[in-house]
Amino acid sequence: MNLVVAIRTLVIFLLTFLVFSPFTYAANSIDGIRVWPAPENTRIVFDLKTTPEYTYFSLKNPQRLVIDFKYTKNLVELETLARNDKRIKRIRTSKPKYKGGMRLVLELNDDYKLTLFPLAPAGQYGNRLVVDLFDPHRVNQTVETHTPNDKRDIVIAVIAGHGGEDPGSIGASGTYEKHITLNIAKKLSRLIDRQTGFKAVMIRSGDYYVNHDRKIELSREKGADLLISIHADAFTSAQPHGASVLVQSTRRADSEFTRWISNRQKESELLGGAGDTIKKTKDKNLAITLADMKKEYTMASSYEFAEHVIKQMKKVTKLHKKTPERLSLAVLKSADIPSVLIETGFISNPQEEKRLNNSAHQQKLAKSIFTAITHYFELHPPQGSLIAAMTLKKHKVARGESLSVVAQRYNVSVNQLKSLNNLSSNVVRIGQTLKIPRAAL
């Protein structure tokens, strides 16, 4: 009998221990913490076992962000997490608010604008809690404007797709799309910056994430004449391959246009030369007409540039689509900046993944896009740009002259001559007048 009582007492003790032990509260755990510094913000991502339960608040003098997790234990070494970030001094623990929970303190260097939100499992990631710290000086950025006769550079916004905690597609051998896109974007930007009359603006220059709206905002702030977003495609099977170029679908453009018009007082500065008229006019029909003309011009310009890209890319890689494809994509939604998204190949195809990882192939892709840029703006130089100010020469074909002879004379390529003059072959006739690309090109 004493043995039965002893066993019963032990069972009650163990049950009581399990119910009231602090370990039973730790039903969740922080399994990883990733810190992603970017020029304008720092993103901290907490990887958790299950959906986080939390509260948070900020403290001043010194600046701190305090996050209290319920029923959670930390499995991550905190000491060196923020050593490469300029906004976070350190991340440490403190006395928890909740029994069985934990408190994390982020000691900060400034009073940052804060956003904090949970994310459900997606792709390779499980439950997450995301903290964004935005520089206070980011707000109220001014849009760079151009005057008609300043002989300015043509500005190309180059966007490397994905970045930071968003790897994009992942190839069969583990290649991250975000690394390929950044490498190609850097190569393209270097080519653009070396060309007289052109300037590249890299929207993402490192391994960090920029949301789609901010990509367009940054492009606009820098006065971009063209937006190019670089990606690598993927599919559920390994068969598809080849590059393609995407532009905004009519449906998406129309929905953005509706939003745009409804808020025209705020966004009228985005409309270039027509902006001031649209902002000040009391004639709603006139405002809508001007804005609609701007939208249509932007869409037509995007499509025409996309055709130039396809024409050049097919010389260095296989194509998945031989004509520009229209899709509803957030990064292409700008109604005032011609925009294209270039899929450089299928990372899900093992052979193409290998080529996309090859630096020489990346350079060829970048060069083909660069050539499309110069050819397009030879035909459509923005008013006030240096390229527009340069005189376009003309040459009348004489007896014995071929296209290659003319190209050599003016130190340009045969392809440039053909593109500028809409020639489908190398054949020219005596007396034919050819437009000659600008000398600086």
Could you report the per-residue pLDDT of 216-258, keeping only the tens digit for each? 999 999 999 999 999 998 887 888 889 999 998 876 655 554 4
Amino acid (one-letter) located at 141: Q
Radius of gyration of the chain (CA): 28
Are 28 and 126 in contact by the 8 Å Cβ rule? The answer is no
Which architecture characterizes domain 154-379 according to CATH? 3-Layer(aba) Sandwich (3.40)
Amino acid 272: pLDDT: 43
Handedness of CA 299, 304, 307, 309 (dihedral sign): negative
Amino acid 59: pLDDT: 95
Domain ranges of the chain: 22-136, 154-379, 391-436
Q: Which residues contact 435 (CB under 8 A, 6 or more apart)?
A: 392, 393, 394, 420, 421
Amino acid 267: pLDDT: 45
Q: Where are the alpha helices (DSSP H) in 240-344?
A: 250-262, 264-267, 275-280, 284-313
Amino acid 236: pLDDT: 79
Amino acid 286: pLDDT: 55
Residue range 391-436 in CATH 3.10.350.10:
yes
- Quick one: tokens of 108? 């900060």
**Which of these CATH numbers, 1.10.10.10, 3.40.50.2000, 3.40.50.1980, 2.60.40.3500, describes 22-136?**
2.60.40.3500
CA gap 334, 361 in Å, rounded: 30
**If you write DSSP's letter for every residue of 378-434 in order, what string do you get?**
HHSPPTTBHHHHSPPEEEEPPTT--HHHHHHHTT--HHHHHHHTT-SSS---TT-EE
∠ CA 200-203-207 to the nearest 5 degrees? 125
CA gap 127, 58 in Å, rounded: 24
Residue 89 has what DSSP assignment?
E
Amino acid 296: pLDDT: 77
Give yes or no on whether 22-136 and 391-436 have one common fold. no
**Chain length of the chain:** 441
Residue 124 has what DSSP assignment?
T
Q: Which long-range contacts (C-beta less than 8 Å, at least 24 apart) are formed by 299-302?
A: 299/247, 299/248, 299/250, 299/253, 301/338, 301/380, 302/247, 302/248, 302/332, 302/338, 302/339, 302/340
Are 136 and 111 in contact by the 8 Å Cβ rule? The answer is yes
pLDDT in tens, 81-98: 988 899 999 999 999 988
Amino acid 38: pLDDT: 92
Amino acid 270: pLDDT: 43
Amino acid 14: pLDDT: 53
Amino acid 239: pLDDT: 87
End-to-end CA distance of the chain: 101
Are 274 and 298 in contact by the 8 Å Cβ rule? The answer is no
CA gap 303, 297 in Å, rounded: 10
Residue 137, beta-bridge partner list: none
Please identify every stretch of the chain with a pLDDT value under 50, giving residue numbers as ranges. 17-24, 257-258, 261-262, 264-274, 277, 440-441
